[in-house]
Amino acid sequence: MFNLFNSDKSIIDAKTLQQLLDEILTPGLEKMGLTKASNYLWHEQTLKTIRRGFSYKHLKGASGTFAWGVSIDFLPIVHGSKIKYHKTARNYVHHIFEWPDEYSSSFVGGQLRNGITTHFGVKEAKKSIEKLFDRYQPKIIKWFDTTNTVENLIDIAERQVSFGEYYNIHSPRPKYVLPFLCAKANQIDKAIELFDKLDLFYFDNNEEIKKSKIKIVIVD
């Protein structure tokens, strides 16, 4: 185990960070039904249409933050000329997700400080991770409680699209996810309208992928 009484303010190594995250985050995340899948990712590992997950995001300046969201098994993701689905129990990616408010708002001029952790010094890192998780755990639980159905996710995606700003740098963007959610909810006309308005950059600037490989998911 790492020495919690080490006063060294140097950047902690990856192994120490992973031990801290496991000690601080894993018990609380397990209570939410999330299992540790890798060093920086926890998620539901049963096969479900909507699976919840949480990740630790490395940032510049020896710091980090959280992301929490859902993976959607019917959402096609473009990888070059190929289409990928995240359907297996081990294969998880955030498709609709959130960051801490301070981290999100930093992209539009807000203060970043209280929305991140530090990797300088073991005690300082431990304290910052605990503090951020303690502040956001209730909000994460509440958010997860609103992701039980496709209709719930439509509401979330519509709010994110309407708000814009930092949601426009999410990957995938909620604007891309929304038409597929609408199609799943049998709102076909709305889904087609939203899909047809998507720019080609969502499809690696390939019109054939958009019209021949992806749109069929909407109308099928």
Q: Which tokens go with 208?
A: 């054939």
Q: Do 73 and 174 fall into the same domain?
A: no
Is residue 112 a part of any domain in this protein? Answer: yes
What sign does the dihedral 193-198-199-200 (CA atoms) show? Answer: negative
Is residue 1 a part of any domain in this protein? Answer: no
Residue 205's CB is within 10 A of a number of other CB atoms, namely: 10
In 23-81, where do the E strands start and end? 35-38, 41-43, 50-59, 63-72, 77-79
Is residue 213 a part of any domain in this protein? Answer: yes
Angle between helices 188-196 and 174-184 (to 10 degrees): 160
**What range does the domain containing 200 cover?**
150-220
Q: Do 55 and 112 fall into the same domain?
A: yes
Q: What Rg value do the Cα atoms of the chain yield, rounded?
A: 19
Instruction: Give the three-state DSSP class for 15.
Output: helix
Q: Do 45 and 143 fall into the same domain?
A: yes
Q: Do 111 and 63 fall into the same domain?
A: yes
Is the bond into 172 cis (omega within 30 degrees of 0)?
A: yes
Q: Do 132 and 36 fall into the same domain?
A: yes
Is residue 179 a part of any domain in this protein? Answer: yes
Q: What confidence tens digit (pLDDT) does each residue in 63-104 have?
A: 999 999 999 999 999 988 889 999 998 899 999 999 999 999
pLDDT tens-place values along the chain, 220 residues long: 333 334 457 999 999 999 999 999 999 999 999 999 999 999 999 999 999 999 999 999 999 999 999 999 999 999 888 899 999 988 999 999 999 999 999 999 999 989 999 999 999 999 999 999 999 999 999 999 999 999 999 999 999 999 999 999 999 999 999 999 999 999 999 999 999 999 999 999 999 999 888 998 898 7
Q: Which pLDDT belongs to residue 8? A: 59
The count of structural domains within the chain is: 2
Compute the CA torsion angle 202, 204, 205, 206 (nearest 10 deg): -110
Q: Do 136 and 155 fall into the same domain?
A: no
Helix (H) and strand (E) counts in the chain: 9, 8
Domain-ending residue, one of 97, 131, 148:
148
